[in-house]
């Protein structure tokens, strides 16, 4: 039963949203269905040709170098892997993050559960796999990977249905004055809310949960043993070491060591990804 609803206002290309994935996975792992997580697309960049972000020194003809530098700096801080080569690859064609947002809405129109998996694949592909998720062909490939009906997905993209759904998300953002991503809205069953702007540590969510739900939320105990870590990898199918360290309260070094041990036992497999890696369950 849902006790809390947690909304992330987001964009598939947002690096600090990517950096928030370990925190959200920790929330999911601890609280399960007690916390319902939903995503609203905020549209980070409508047109890169006119986009300016003075805070991060992004804008102008060298935007691809500036964004790459920003992503790399963010990765060193949030710990999730990135491959900044995507910006050099697409500097002459990339214009907007809106197509990726609309692709998520097409997935959501079809199947909300698969849409959550699709958003994760969009993030992985853009951030760490050097795949241009603004392209329809890549969007369709990722849709197939998570089990969506690709013809239906493409029909919703091309008919304008997904674009209309994205427009509704933009209106929700504007109605709340949300212009930066990620932004998080925590709400209880009585409609009381806490708004958290920007990247947040787990402790910020924990505090908001206590404020809004008191003792009504019951986190499950988390054991940092090999069996639990393996169960975590199997549950999500692809995890970054940072997600293991966050969820199980381990240092980065300890998480890498534990994953390395599981790999040596043939239970997980490491996949290099940009400046980091993912771990997936080993096929049996």
Looking at domain 4-175, its CATH architecture is: 3-Layer(aba) Sandwich (3.40)
Strand partners, 270: 279
**Per-residue pLDDT, 106:** 98
Question: CATH 1.10.10.10 occupies which residues in the chain?
Answer: 226-281
pLDDT in tens, 118-173: 999 999 999 999 999 999 999 999 999 999 999 999 999 999 999 999 999 999 99
Residue 195 backbone class (left: φ over 0; alpha: ψ -120 to 50; beta: rest): beta
Taking a C-beta distance cutoff of 8 angstroms, is the pair 252, 245 a contact? yes
Residue closest to 79 by CA, chosen among 210, 216, 274: 274
Question: CATH 3.40.30.10 occupies which residues in the chain?
Answer: 4-175
**Per-residue pLDDT, 284:** 47
**Per-residue pLDDT, 1:** 76
* Average pLDDT per block of 10 residues along the chain, 284 residues long: 94 98 98 97 95 90 95 97 96 96 98 98 98 98 98 98 98 96 97 97 97 93 96 97 98 97 97 97 79
**Per-residue pLDDT, 86:** 95
What is the fold, at CATH topology level, of the domain defined by 226-281? Answer: Arc Repressor Mutant, subunit A (1.10.10)
**Per-residue pLDDT, 2:** 86
Residue 3: DSSP 8-state: S
CA distance 76 to 160: 38
**Per-residue pLDDT, 55:** 84
Sign of the CA dihedral with 150 first, then 151, 156, and 160 last: positive
């Amino acid at each position: 039963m849902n006790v809390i609803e947690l909304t992330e206002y987001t964009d598939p290309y947002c690096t600090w949203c990517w950096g928030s994935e370990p925190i959200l996975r920790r929330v999911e792992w601890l609280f399960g269905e007690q916390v319902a997580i939903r995503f609203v697309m905020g549209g980070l960049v409508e047109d890169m040709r006119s986009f300016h972000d003075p805070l991060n020194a992004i804008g102008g003809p060298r935007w691809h170098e500036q964004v790459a530098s920003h992503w790399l700096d963010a990765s060193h801080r949030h710990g999730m892997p990135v491959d900044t080569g995507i910006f050099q690859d697409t500097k002459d064609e990339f214009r907007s993050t809106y197509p990726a947002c609309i692709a998520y809405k097409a997935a959501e129109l079809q199947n909300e559960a698969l849409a959550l998996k699709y958003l994760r694949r969009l993030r992985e592909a853009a951030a760490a796999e050097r795949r241009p998720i603004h392209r329809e062909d890549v969007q369709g490939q990722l849709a197939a990977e998570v089990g969506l009906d690709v013809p239906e997905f493409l029909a919703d993209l091309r008919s304008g249905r997904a674009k209309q759904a994205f427009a509704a998300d933009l209106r929700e953002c504007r109605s709340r004055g949300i212009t930066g991503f990620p932004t998080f809205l925590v709400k209880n069953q009585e409609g009381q809310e806490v708004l958290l702007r920007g990247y947040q540590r787990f402790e910020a969510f924990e505090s908001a949960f206590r404020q809004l739900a008191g003792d009504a939320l019951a986190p499950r105990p988390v054991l940092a043993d090999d069996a639990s870590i393996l169960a975590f990898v199997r549950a999500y199918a692809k995890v970054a070491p940072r997600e293991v360290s966050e969820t199980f309260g381990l240092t980065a070094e300890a998480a890498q060591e534990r994953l390395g041990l599981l790999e040596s036992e043939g239970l997980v497999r490491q996949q290099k990804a940009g400046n980091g890696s993912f771990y997936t369950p080993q096929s049996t």
